[in-house]
Structure 1
Amino acid sequence: MNESQAVKPWTRPYDWAEVVLGVVAMASPLWMATDNAAMWTMVVLGALIALDGLVSLAMPGMVAGEAIQIVLGVLLFISPWVMSYTHLTGIAWSSWIIGALTVVAGAAALPLAQAASRMAGSH
């Protein structure tokens, strides 16, 4: 993707991936065994991941959004240990996988957001 595509809203695939990952995290308690802590962790962090992805799509030059995305991914990854639901294998693995993929997507989108921010500042 070149820099001109980096500044065009609603076009960055990594941000779309973040939205999808957030929605999957939010919905995963619907089809997996869960407890109250796991359910609310997945719903809240999933909603925040999806919302941050949407904001990044709408405002491609916002570098902070990608940094926030990385932090949210780390929080989702560590949540089975912090919120004590490692015994719920399906939802715990969902947290680990979706959290890791969110970190990767946020890190991959960071250079694009930086390029968009630089281009916006040069106008």
Structure 2
Amino acid sequence: MSEVPTRAWTRPYDWAEVVIGVVAALSPLWLNTDKMTMWTMVVLGALIAIDGLVSLATPGAVYSEGVQIVLGALLFIAPWVMSYTQFNGASWTSWVAGALTIIAGAAAMPQASAAHRMAGQH
């Protein structure tokens, strides 16, 4: 079994979450959107990036991976819920970034759980 990164700022899935969140938050700069679409993407993207930073700073915080999955799901369904499917670029960015956030959160869950267990042994 591979070693579980338990040190802060070392987990690749959390870095991926930060990058995905930043891209989603900044994407209205180069995508065609309206005001509501822009704010939806900025807020959800920023929350995803912030959650990634929290996960990086506290590698044993398993709840953060669950939050990441929920935020990814919210970003994924946002084009339908917030009615911006007419903006193809924004919709596809939401769907892809949301799916990647869910995947990264699910993939990081075992590492976070192991780091949480190891932190409890110290």
TM-score normalised by the chain length of structure 2 = 0.97
SS at match of 1:55: helix
SS at match of 1:11: coil
Q: Which amino acid aligns with 1:45?
A: L
Letter in 2 for 1:27: L
- Alignment correspondent of 2:36: 37
Structure 1 distance, partners of 2:95, 2:37, is 12
AA in 1 matched with 2:65:
E
Q: Counterparts of 1:77 and 1:62 in 2: how far apart (Å)?
A: 24
**1:72: Cα distance to partner?**
0.1
Identity level (%)? 68
Query: 1:103 corresponds to which residue?
Result: 102
- 1:93-119: CA deviation from partner (whole Å, max 9, x where unpaired): 000000000000000011100000000
- Paired position in structure 2 for 1:76: 75
TM-score, length-normalised on structure 1? 0.97
Cα separation, 1, equivalents of 2:92 and 2:27? 11
Q: Shift in Å at residue 58 of structure 1? A: 0.4
Work out the CA distance in 1 between the residues paired with 2:109 and 2:71.
Answer: 14
Between the aligned partners of 1:48 and 1:88, the Cα distance in structure 2 is: 22
Q: Distance in 2 between matches of 1:93 and 1:31?
A: 13
Q: CA deviation at 1:16?
A: 0.1
CA RMSD of aligned residues (A): 0.6
Q: CA deviation at 1:45?
A: 0.3
Check if 1:48 corresponds to 2:50. no
Q: Which runs of at least 4 in structure 1 moved beyond 2 Å after TM superposition?
A: none
Query: In the alignment, is residue 88 of structure 1 matched against residue 87 of structure 2?
Result: yes
